């Protein structure tokens, strides 16, 4: 609260003047300077020479618009060169800091402080950032209320010596007494760090036994909520030895011990068939799964465990068609696949945990769904062929299409959940497309690009086909990772995203740890495309994937087909139709083969090479692919900002050029009075310059100068500084021929 009163005194002068003098005869008010805004320049001086120097610096700066505060410990009557500023501008005088504080409390709150001088000074320092209730408690209850341990203990635990060093002996004693009382001990003269260690142990033991006093529970919560102090918690946690005899299920749901969670999960994994045991633990697991501190600590696996444990398979018995199966997967069963993927990511190397969970997933959940899916699989009809051509023909506005490689429906939904805010998810019929089989990149990318269904193994040939199929259409191609503010030139933009499939095929299930980063890229780039002015952005994919997880030799399928055959991990090609009743076979010509066959589960056929991340089969995880579409929500009109000298920028003499932008409201609207923008310059796909944030007013024209710096062609983008939306663009070209002054 003292900070607010001090700033009020300062602003009473600076609201009308540019200079204020803080005459601190007490020498104790210097800490208040830290509360000043960056717009105020602070000058310190303690003798006549420094006074003269400060006066020179301020007068030299002239009318630069800056505000100045001069801090001195010299009494007012002894000031020589600064006395004039005190009289003509204004000053804040602190003869005795404790009197200054008492006066402020009485003036603003009508309260009288009955504390010792040193206690008042300490209370003033501690009041920074607090409200008036702090002073009210202090006045009515005395020095014991100087400290609010719920907050002050956090700062003490972070750096005990630094925190306690700010107080005099009387205030230190009050603080120590309060802390000892909080941890249930009698006051002793322990060193600050020793006491801090005891407080931390009290908190950690209280969390372990779920008997933490309410005050310390609040301290713990504030500690982990604090961006400034939370790192220090890890120091204490790393030194805490977890008792081997700890009662696992007694711990507080917000405890910080990941080792406890892992031991609990090992126990749960051994009792997956024990409904009584699971019912008993359900409430605790649910509380832990949703606890923000647990999530902050990286304990994210309880939610997927709950999905597996609580999934109701009874509705699966009512599935009566392939359409029913697809509906069940896209509305509900995908959560089961997401849960097992997240558990694989965390625990795949740990067989004691993962083996029972995988067994439960496969035999008690997935097998029930797949039995229905494969019963109706002969009715399966792919719908990918010519997808890009259909989207280009159906959309007249600017359209971007993200073509993913290996982006499953489940993975895409995770990205969809994050794309909120100024974007609408557009439901254009169904939000999925059934992929072609075998669901491999070469085959299915050809289906997406080539309306004839011809398989084109080279990506460049597929792009040339699409261009030839749409003469006169402005179609561009780009890797999704290369999308930036400059990616807006083409009316139709096809963005390829291959990372997930490439990494999966190279590293198999080890690639799982990178999926979160790939999800971030997908979300970030779709948002960028929408900001770049594309009216719609689609996300489609050639195929999905299955994870085989922990795989034994007995899990692999040994094919019994006769005659000439090619056995892949997820399918078999044959010349003659196989007689094996366990296979699902479709006619399909490919080279010398006439049939393609699939197993009725996700286990791989026995083949050379690695296993883990795979596709090409007939499982729903591989064939149900996303068909998502977003469009920008129309928001309230804002100031239109345009580049007004585009014609001049097409041919610029010399190395320097000026960009002129103008703000223009479409109508008389207060909400269109100003806008914050930035100017970006690109050379090819590389951003070479970004301006500071510029505030432009309605009907105002601003000019900014830049240089080519050896690059004869640049692309300019004007973007909204807040939303990053592209507002206007221009091409800038250097005319080197004309710059020779006619010598040629």
Contact yes or no for 565/613 (Cβ under 8 A): no
Contact yes or no for 477/496 (Cβ under 8 A): yes
Question: pLDDT digit string (tens) for 27-43?
Answer: 888 889 988 988 899 99
Q: Do 620 and 660 share a domain, yes or no?
A: no
Q: Do 297 and 443 share a domain, yes or no?
A: no
Residue 419 has pLDDT above 70, yes or no: yes
Residue 409 has pLDDT above 80, yes or no: yes
Dihedrals phi, psi of 523, to nearest 5 degrees:
-65, -45
Question: pLDDT digit string (tens) for 160-186?
Answer: 998 888 676 767 887 888 899 899 988
Question: pLDDT digit string (tens) for 501-550?
Answer: 999 999 999 999 999 999 999 999 999 999 888 999 999 999 999 999 99
735-743 mean pLDDT: 58
Q: Do 393 and 363 share a domain, yes or no?
A: no
Buried b (16+ CB within 10 A) or exposed e, 694-719: bebebeeebeeebebeeeeebbbbbb
Q: Do 10 and 89 share a domain, yes or no?
A: yes
Q: Do 336 and 285 share a domain, yes or no?
A: yes
Q: Do 523 and 392 share a domain, yes or no?
A: yes
Cβ neighbours of residue 712 closer than 8 Å, sequence gap 6 or more: 733, 734, 736
Instruction: Examine residue 135 and state whether it is found in any structural domain, yes or no.
Output: no
Task: Pick the more confident residue, 636 or 82.
Answer: 82
Instruction: Examine residue 682 and state whether it is found in any structural domain, yes or no.
Output: yes
Nearest-angstrom CA–CA distance, 663 and 733 = 24
Question: pLDDT digit string (tens) for 300-326?
Answer: 999 999 999 999 999 999 999 999 999
484-494 mean pLDDT: 91
- Confidence at residue 724, expressed as pLDDT on a 0 to 100 scale: 81
Q: Do 330 and 364 share a domain, yes or no?
A: yes
- Confidence at residue 634, expressed as pLDDT on a 0 to 100 scale: 67
Q: Do 291 and 425 share a domain, yes or no?
A: no
Q: Choose among 438, 487, 490, 482: nearest CA to 466.
A: 490
pTM for the full model? 0.76
Q: Do 478 and 622 share a domain, yes or no?
A: yes
Question: pLDDT digit string (tens) for 602-625?
Answer: 999 999 888 999 999 999 999 999
First to last CA, the chain: 74
Question: pLDDT digit string (tens) for 578-610?
Answer: 999 999 999 999 999 999 999 999 999 999 888
449-455 mean pLDDT: 93
Domain containing 86 — which CATH number?
Answer: 3.40.50.11230
Domain count, the chain: 4
**Domain containing 657: what range?**
640-740
- Confidence at residue 742, expressed as pLDDT on a 0 to 100 scale: 46
Question: pLDDT digit string (tens) for 659-668?
Answer: 999 998 876 6
Residue 185, SS3 per DSSP: coil
Q: Do 512 and 424 share a domain, yes or no?
A: yes
Residue 69 has pLDDT above 60, yes or no: yes
Question: pLDDT digit string (tens) for 70-87?
Answer: 999 999 999 988 999 999
Residue 739 has pLDDT above 80, yes or no: no
198-212 mean pLDDT: 95
Instruction: Examine residue 622 and state whether it is found in any structural domain, yes or no.
Output: yes
Residue 129 has pLDDT above 60, yes or no: yes
Percent of the chain with pLDDT over 70: 96
Domain containing 652 — which CATH number?
Answer: 2.60.40.1930
Nearest-angstrom CA–CA distance, 137 and 133 = 6
Nearest-angstrom CA–CA distance, 330 and 209 = 43
Instruction: Examine residue 394 and state whether it is found in any structural domain, yes or no.
Output: yes
| pLDDT bracket for residue 470 (50, 70, 90) | very high
Nearest-angstrom CA–CA distance, 284 and 151 = 28
Residue 145 has pLDDT above 70, yes or no: no
H-state helical runs in 513-575: 515-531
Facing residues of 626 across strands? 432
- Confidence at residue 127, expressed as pLDDT on a 0 to 100 scale: 83
Q: Do 453 and 530 share a domain, yes or no?
A: yes
- Confidence at residue 743, expressed as pLDDT on a 0 to 100 scale: 46
Nearest-angstrom CA–CA distance, 205 and 196 = 14
Which run of H or E residues covers position 643? strand 640-643
4-20 mean pLDDT: 91
Average pLDDT along the chain = 90
| pLDDT bracket for residue 232 (50, 70, 90) | very high
Cβ neighbours of residue 704 closer than 8 Å, sequence gap 6 or more: 658, 659, 661, 679, 691, 694
| pLDDT bracket for residue 412 (50, 70, 90) | very high
- Confidence at residue 57, expressed as pLDDT on a 0 to 100 scale: 87
Dihedrals phi, psi of 542, to nearest 5 degrees:
-75, -35
């Amino acid at each position: 609260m003292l900070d607010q009163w001090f700033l009020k005194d300062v602003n009473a002068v600076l609201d009308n003047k540019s200079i204020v003098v803080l005459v601190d005869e007490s020498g104790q008010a210097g800490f208040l300077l830290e509360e000043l805004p960056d717009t105020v320049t602070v000058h310190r001086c303690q003798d006549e020479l420094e006074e003269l120097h400060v006066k020179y610096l301020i007068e030299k700066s002239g009318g630069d618009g800056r505000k100045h505060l001069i801090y001195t410990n010299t009494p007012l009557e002894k000031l020589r060169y600064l006395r004039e500023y005190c009289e003509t501008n204004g000053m804040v005088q602190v003869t005795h800091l404790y009197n200054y504080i008492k006066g402020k409390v009485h003036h603003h709150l009508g309260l009288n402080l009955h504390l010792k001088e040193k206690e008042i000074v300490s209370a003033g320092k501690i009041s920074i950032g607090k409200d008036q209730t702090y002073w009210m408690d202090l006045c009515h209850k005395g020095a014991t209320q100087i400290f609010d341990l719920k907050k002050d203990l956090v700062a003490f635990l972070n750096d005990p010596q630094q925190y306690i060093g700010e107080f005099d002996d009387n205030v230190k004693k009050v603080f120590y007494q309060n802390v000892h009382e909080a941890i249930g001990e009698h006051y002793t003269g322990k060193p600050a760090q020793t006491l801090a260690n005891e407080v931390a142990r009290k908190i950690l033991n209280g969390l372990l036994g779920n008997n933490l006093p309410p005050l310390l529970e609040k301290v713990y919560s504030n500690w982990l909520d604090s961006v400034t102090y939370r790192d220090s918690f890890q120091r204490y946690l790393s030194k805490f030895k977890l008792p081997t005899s700890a009662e696992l299920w007694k711990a507080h749901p917000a405890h910080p011990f990941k080792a406890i969670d892992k031991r609990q999960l090992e126990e749960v994994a051994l009792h997956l068939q024990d409904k009584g045991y699971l019912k008993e633990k359900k409430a605790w697991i649910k509380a832990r799964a949703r606890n923000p501190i647990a999530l902050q600590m990286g304990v994210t696996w309880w939610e997927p465990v709950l999905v597996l444990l609580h999934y109701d398979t009874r509705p699966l018995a009512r599935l009566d068609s392939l359409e029913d199966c697809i509906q069940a997967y896209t509305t509900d069963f995908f959560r089961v696949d997401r849960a097992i993927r997240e558990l694989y990511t965390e625990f795949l190397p740990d067989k004691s945990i993962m083996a029972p969970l995988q067994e439960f997933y496969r035999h008690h959940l997935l097998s029930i769904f797949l039995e229905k899916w494969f019963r109706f699989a002969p009715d399966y009809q792919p719908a990918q062929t010519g997808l890009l051509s259909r989207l280009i023909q159906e959309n007249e506005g600017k359209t971007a299409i993200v073509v993913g490689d290996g982006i499953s429906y489940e993975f895409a939904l995770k990205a969809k959940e994050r794309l909120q805010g100024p974007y609408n998810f557009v439901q254009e019929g169904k939000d999925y497309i059934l992929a072609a089989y075998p669901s491999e990149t070469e085959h299915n990318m050809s289906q997406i690009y080539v309306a004839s269904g011809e398989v084109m193994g080279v990506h460049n040939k597929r792009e040339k086909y699409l261009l030839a199929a749409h003469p006169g259409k402005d179609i561009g191609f780009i890797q999704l990772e290369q999308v930036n503010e400059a990616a807006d030139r083409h009316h139709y933009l096809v963005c390829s995203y291959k990372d997930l499939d490439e990494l999966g095929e190279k590293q198999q299930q080890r690639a799982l740890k990178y999926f979160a980063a790939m999800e971030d890229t997908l979300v970030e780039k779709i948002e960028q495309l929408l900001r770049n002015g594309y009216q719609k952005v689609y996300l489609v994919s050639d195929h999905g994937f299955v994870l085989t997880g922990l795989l034994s030799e007995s899990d692999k399928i040994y094919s019994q087909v006769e005659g000439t055959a090619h056995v892949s991990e997820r399918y078999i090609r044959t010349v003659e139709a196989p007689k094996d009743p366990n296979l699902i076979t479709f006619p399909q010509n490919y080279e010398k083969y006439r049939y393609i066959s699939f197993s009725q589960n996700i286990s791989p056929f026995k083949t050379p090479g690695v296993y883990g991340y795979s596709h090409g089969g007939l499982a729903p995880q591989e064939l149900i692919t996303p068909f998502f579409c977003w469009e920008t929500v129309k928001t309230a009109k804002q100031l239109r900002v345009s580049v007004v000298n585009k014609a001049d920028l097409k041919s610029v003499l010399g190395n320097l050029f000026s960009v002129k932008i103008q703000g223009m409201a479409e109508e008389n609207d207060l909400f269109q009075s100003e806008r914050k923008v930035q100017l970006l310059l690109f050379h090819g796909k590389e951003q070479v310059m970004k301006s500071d944030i510029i505030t432009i007013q309605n009907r105002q024209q601003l000019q900014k100068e830049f240089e080519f710096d050896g690059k004869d062609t640049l692309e300019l983008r004007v973007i909204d500084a807040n939303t990053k939306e592209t507002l206007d663009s221009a091409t800038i070209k250097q005319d080197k021929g004309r710059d020779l002054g006619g010598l040629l």
